[in-house]
Amino acid sequence: MNEQNHKIVPVELAPMAGYTNLPFRLMAKKYGADRVTTEMVSAKGLYYRDKKTAQLMATMPEERPVGVQIFGSDPEIIAETVARDINPLDFDFLDFNAGCPAPKIVKNGDGSALLNDLPLLERIVSAMVKVSDKPVRVKLRLGWDDAHIVIDEAIRRVEDAGAAMSVVHGRTRAAFYSGKADWEAIARAKTLVEIPVVANGDIDSPEAAMRCLEVTHADGLMVGRAAVGRPFIFERIKARLAGKDGPLPSAGEILNMAITHVQLVEEYADQTGPMVEMRKQLVAYTKGMPDSARLRQRIFTCQSAQDMTDCLRAYALREGISLP
């Protein structure tokens, strides 16, 4: 795809358990993400009114359009949860996870385990569509493993069930996040349906985004792990899609982003859980910086927002990095 024949599509942050809480989503929006989605929310947890589950749905007007992602495998519980707990909330779309490969999810028949029972997946999506006052989107993988590639049938079934959109991660459940995402498989699936298809997997740079779009002709691009510690990736991808160069931020600018992220976690502490969860984000922000191994050791001793901010500022001073 040359610079004169590019396609401009939405670029969004993938829902990631343990990462895409409210502060991270606000950072992604600040740096160009067109859409964001919550972490996975258990339909069963909502059904039984678990407080920690409900906290995952904290949102702010600044992050719109924002979706909520739920997972489960019981159509009745899911439908009741959507009608009772999600419809009253200010989300712009409802995302259903049929792609998570985590063992603790699939052992209960949820996530990518549903790729082994496509009739059940179709019933779930149909039940959601019937009660939801929001568009329903379905996140899929290619299949359980290479011997059971079912994406073509799966995406047809979710369209038939009334889904307004699908996201396809170009790997099987067995692959988890190893190997390369199969963008060709996403491209084939897209030709089978009329609903928009968002491509996901290995979109880790502006160059990769352009190649993925060239192969898949997708209606959107979803960035996951590559956005951790790099929220600016959205601006860079969108600049490239617009035929421009999106320069990499300086080390000082990245550290300043990290400090802003820490401040957001502190501001929304009631919705985000323990501050120590921010440590993994800081490690990602500072990866590849000078003497990052020693900095990483220091980060893992930080307990509070002040500790983290002081740590980053002291590091910048020691390394001669100017903060904006």
Q: Which residues are annotated as a binding site for FMN?
A: 15-17, 69, 139, 169, 224-225
Compute the distance between CA of residue 165 and CA of residue 197 in angstroms, rounded to an integer.
Answer: 6
* 201 and 279 belong to one structural domain: no
CATH number for the domain spanning 61: value is 3.20.20.70
**Predicted confidence band at 6 (pLDDT cuts at 50, 70, 90)?**
low
The verdict on whether 100 is a catalytic residue reads yes
27 pLDDT above the threshold of 50:
yes
1 pLDDT above the threshold of 50:
no
Instruction: Write the pLDDT tens digit of every residue in 51-62.
Output: 888 888 989 999
What is the count of structural domains for the chain?
Answer: 2
State the catalytic residue, choosing from 100, 212, 302, 311. Answer: 100
Instruction: Write the pLDDT tens digit of every residue in 247-259.
Output: 899 999 999 999 9
Domain region containing 166? 11-241
* 315 and 212 belong to one structural domain: no
Q: Which residues are annotated as a binding site?
A: 15-17, 69, 139, 169, 224-225
* 186 and 268 belong to one structural domain: no
Instruction: Write the pLDDT tens digit of every residue in 106-163.
Output: 999 999 999 999 999 999 999 999 999 999 999 999 999 999 999 999 999 999 999 9
pTM for this predicted structure: 0.94
Instruction: Write the pLDDT tens digit of every residue in 44-99.
Output: 999 998 888 888 898 999 999 999 999 999 999 999 999 999 999 999 999 999 99
* 105 and 230 belong to one structural domain: yes
279: which residues sit within 8 A by CB, 6+ positions away? 299, 300, 302, 308
* 289 and 188 belong to one structural domain: no
| pLDDT value at residue 246 | 81
Distances 212 to 60, 179, 216, 224 between C-alpha atoms, Å:
31, 16, 6, 14
Mean pLDDT of the chain: 94
Instruction: Write the pLDDT tens digit of every residue in 197-242.
Output: 999 999 999 999 999 999 999 999 999 999 999 999 999 999 999 9
Does 6 fall in a domain?
no
4 pLDDT above the threshold of 50:
no
